[in-house]
Structure 1
Amino acid sequence: MRSITNQNLDWKTVLFVLVVVAVFIRFPFFFRDYVDRDESTFILMGQSWVNGHLPYTQLWDLKPPITFLYFALIIKIFGKSFFAIRFFGAVMVALTSLFTYAIAIKFTTKKVAFWTAIFSVFFQSLFGSLQGVMSEHICTFFFVAALYILVHKTDAKWFFTSGLLLGLSVMTKLNMAYPVFCLGLYFLWEGFYEKHALKNIKNLVFMGAGFFVTIACTAIPYYLQGDTQIWWESIFEAPLAYSEGKFHSPWRTLPYVGTIALLLGSGFYLKLIDWKSKNTQLLTIVVIGILISYVQSGKVNGHYLIQLYPFILIPLGMAVAKLPPIQKKYRAVIAVLLILVPMESYLEYGNIISNKIKKDSFYNGEGIDVPRYILGHNLETEHIFFTEYHIGYWVLDETPPTKPATHPSNITREELFPYMNNLRKSGVEELKYIMEVVRPKTLVARKGKKIFDKKLVEYNSYIDAYLEKHYHLEATVGRGLIYQRLE
């Protein structure tokens, strides 16, 4: 371990260690049906693209197209492989952490930068539903790579490259437009008030050109199909409508925003973080931009924080480096704590071994077991409706019954219907269309959970009554409930 913590760390050694740590922590989750439901939706959207349908044309979800491109490329090359999707996700986490290390060495020692990168892997992989591949993993990778260029390079061609990467980040998760805009304002200010104004403005122009080239490239396939309207509405208009939804409020973001602002402010006040450094200012501007995006959206899920981790871990590492060295008598305790950090992974290793013994398969979860039961008992799969475990569509090679049903919760987000080109105007009307017109022979729900959010009484009352009258419970597989239509 001494060579890992010494000053002579090179990027190849760091990358090797980061890949090993990322794969070790995330490996047992390679076999899970899903960790977060959003990942299942991304897989469905990627598969639809592989099948020849551009995003938003056959299925629909509230993310820009680069998110789905990641999944489409892997499915195209490796087929339907949970393992491949999660493996390359682990590599991406390692690469994001490598760029975090490369940025951090501009602020502090290689030793501190290395541990910053290790904790970047931890925070992108643990403490919640982060073991799958989320859109935040993808957009953060592109953004950290772009910031690495902005920290280390100064000529126009590299600023153009950073613009391309920033465009990819925004076309993966639209809220990253806020930190991109803040960066643009910072470089504009620097261009007018710092030395070499002409060069700085030129670099900003090249960065902006790269950014808009990426945006334009995502529109080209839709232009060739004559579908630019659905591209514009789905990517840019729908997220604004979503942020104004009934369950979103800026006040709900204050605990996260306030805590991070307090930590950064304390670091500056105590002079543990050097505010006068240009690179520190860049990091701070990025963090501010991301926090503003959270407030604007009125919502902060655990996986949203992936976007912040690299940019707050670096100044945190700078601050910790200025504290007195850890005494030898405490180092063993810290080593034990580090070993215990990935406790979620250890538990999941036990789960996949148990599943292998009981079911002769490492792959586990109702999203896999329920489709296996359906196929084994020759149940009808055409127009099947998964109100839960919707990764089952992928396993069964089926598609959701309607566009809003791509992600089951989208059925209730009627503010998004106009951007889906959906014929129904309300969520209840959409649900009635699925149940009474499409009439799925098989429906899958989850035991002990309402089909829709418990606040949505009208939705739950309707479907509970409809299931009781027109369906019978065929089987319970784990927590999965399999219903069959009576007539």
Structure 2
Amino acid sequence: MLKKITNLTSPNYKTLDWKTVLLILFLVAFFIRFPFFFRDYVDRDESTFIIMAQSWVNGHLPYTQLWDLKPPITFLFFAVIIKIFGKSFLAIRLFGTLLVALTALFTYGMANTITSKKVAFWVAMFCVFFQSLFGSLQGVMSEHICTFFFVAGIYLLLTKDSIKWYFLIGILFGLSVMSKLNMVYPVLGVGIYFLWEGFAIKQFGTILKKMVFMGTGFLFVLVLTALPYYLEGHLQVWWQSIFEAPLAYSDSKFHSPLKVLPFVVAILGLLAAGFASKKIDIKSRSLQILTVIVIAILISFMQTGKVNGHYMIQLYPFVLIPFGIMIGKLLPEKKIFKPLAIVLLLLLPMEAYLEFVNIVGNKMQKGSFFNGEGIDVPKYIEAHDLDTKNIFFTEYHIGYWVLGVNPPTKAVTHPSNIAREELYPYMENPRKMGMEELQYIMDVLKPKTIVARKGKKIFDKKLVEYNEYIDAYLTQHYFLLATVDRGLIYQRLE
């Protein structure tokens, strides 16, 4: 094992080709992410994407039957996989692994235009690690999808000069933004850089042509996503759900940019130090573009006022390249580098090692590698012939997908959306208030089965009114039928 790792840390970089690099990156990504293939969910957002995608596969455009606050290309990624492979956690997680490997490959391609193959290889390797470890990154997040499209577009931007390529670049940028809306910040950043470059080198006409082609490709994607809604008479739903709702949500959930400021200062400080020390070449056009992208993404974080772990996926490919160049120039002799690389390769996937132990333990105890309450609770429900047509998952909502049913209303596709009243005007939901929606579910729909989580309030602890209502209602109208690990299964008394 140690010998294999040692060989990995010192391949013949000069003979590395794209196929070999992709194979290595995929195998590393697969090893790190494979034990999480069997989890019910890693992040609740991933569960929502799957449920939205299944609705699309069933013939309902996103936002028409179910609703969530993400652009449609994210749902399309999952819908295509489900359409081809059926309801398969393995297929979804496998294609997520492929996304990570391809993003790292294009990161390698970008780095290879700026620095040595050796540094480019290690930048790509750590791109795999940082996109796959720590927090909820083992799931398939919208950031994985949007970052892949954007990195592919930037790679073409750095390596292709023919105007015809800029239409494809625009398409990739459009797909990125239609996967996660905040990617419009780095897209605009690139556009501003091009305008500045056009004036600086006095080739504004040529630059403008490239931007027109790029803009046309971008608009082409927007038109394609709007077309199905136009044909079904739901164009307003498309506009409101993709553009108006995120703006309303952003305005209502203000977080001070000061919370993100230390992180922003740290990243920009390291970049500034690299430029000042001349470890990073400030005259390099490629590095200038990457720096503009980093700044634009950081601005989007400041506008949001927070930096969740999965947000960082968008940043990693673009900061790892300049940081990798700096480290490559600062590292001492190879005698120290190789042991350090081996230690990092052994220690970084610690979460993967622990999850391997978890799935083996689950297999020995329950007879299945698949694990988590989102799988075990539906198994219990089916095994005991409980009602599945009228069920409300306040937690583990991937259970809807496992059981083949829909959430009780559009507003609870993602369980937390019920309290986001600023989003109701854009859902085309009959009820416009969160408590009204909750009362409708409990008093009118009257779910036969409710699933909650042990040791956790059903709603965010700040939502005192919601929790007081649901706790009192459960006490009066439901009884606790079973506890499956941390999953609580309530049955209605009537």
TM over 0.5: yes
- Retained in 1: the 8 A contact 2:71–2:180? yes
Q: Please, which of 376, 386, 390 is the counterpart of residue 379 of structure 1?
A: 386
Distance of 1:372 and 1:434 partners within structure 2: 24
Distance of 1:337 and 1:91 partners within structure 2: 22
**Cα gap change, 1:329 to 1:234, in 2 (>3 Å):** closer
**Cα gap change, 1:446 to 1:187, in 2 (>3 Å):** same
Aligned pairs, how many?
Answer: 487
Structure 2 unaligned blocks of 5 or more: 1-6
Structure 1 unaligned blocks of 5 or more: none
Whether 1:260 aligns to 2:262 is no
Q: Please, which of 193, 198, 204 is the counterpart of residue 205 of structure 2?
A: 198
Counterpart residue number, 1:43: 50
SS at structure 1 position matched to 2:252:
coil
- Retained in 2: the 8 A contact 1:7–1:109? no
Aligned partner letter, 2:76: L
Distance of 1:332 and 1:299 partners within structure 2: 36
Whether 1:485 aligns to 2:492 is yes
Aligned partner letter, 2:450: L
**Cα gap change, 1:181 to 1:388, in 2 (>3 Å):** same
Aligned partner letter, 1:71: F
**Deviating more after overlay: 364-373 vs 426-435:** 426-435
Distance of 2:411 and 2:301 partners within structure 1: 25
**Cα gap change, 1:147 to 1:480, in 2 (>3 Å):** same
SS at structure 2 position matched to 1:322:
helix
Aligned partner letter, 2:25: L
SS at structure 2 position matched to 1:61:
coil
**Cα gap change, 1:478 to 1:214, in 2 (>3 Å):** same
Counterpart residue number, 1:437: 444
Q: Percent identity?
A: 68
Aligned partner letter, 1:92: L
Whether 1:18 aligns to 2:25 is yes
**Cα gap change, 1:329 to 1:178, in 2 (>3 Å):** closer
- Retained in 1: the 8 A contact 2:478–2:490? yes
Q: TM-score, normalised by structure 1?
A: 0.98
Q: TM-score, normalised by structure 2?
A: 0.97
Distance apart, 1:127 and its partner CA: 1.0
Matches within 5 A, 1:422-433: 422-433=429-440
- Aligned-pair RMSD on alpha carbons? 1.3
Counterpart residue number, 1:229: 236
Q: Please, which of 110, 116, 123 is the counterpart of residue 109 of structure 1?
A: 116
Distance of 1:369 and 1:482 partners within structure 2: 11
Distance apart, 1:5 and its partner CA: 4.8
Runs (4+) of structure 1 moved beyond 3 Å? Answer: 246-249
**Deviating more after overlay: 456-465 vs 37-46:** 456-465
**Deviating more after overlay: 433-442 vs 1-10:** 1-10
1:114-151 C-alpha deviation (Å, 9 max, x unpaired): 00000000000001110010000000000000000000
Counterpart residue number, 2:296: 289
Counterpart residue number, 1:462: 469
Distance apart, 1:297 and its partner CA: 2.0
Aligned partner letter, 1:36: D
SS at structure 2 position matched to 1:7:
helix
**Cα gap change, 1:95 to 1:358, in 2 (>3 Å):** same
Matches within 5 A, 1:202-281: 202-246=209-253, 248-281=255-288
Aligned partner letter, 2:295: I
Distance of 2:100 and 2:232 partners within structure 1: 35
Distance of 2:233 and 2:262 partners within structure 1: 45
Distance of 1:23 and 1:329 partners within structure 2: 28
Distance apart, 1:6 and its partner CA: 2.4
SS at structure 2 position matched to 1:445:
strand
Aligned partner letter, 2:193: Y
- Retained in 1: the 8 A contact 2:481–2:490? yes
Matches within 5 A, 1:319-468: 319-326=326-333, 328-329=335-336, 331-468=338-475
Distance of 1:254 and 1:459 partners within structure 2: 33
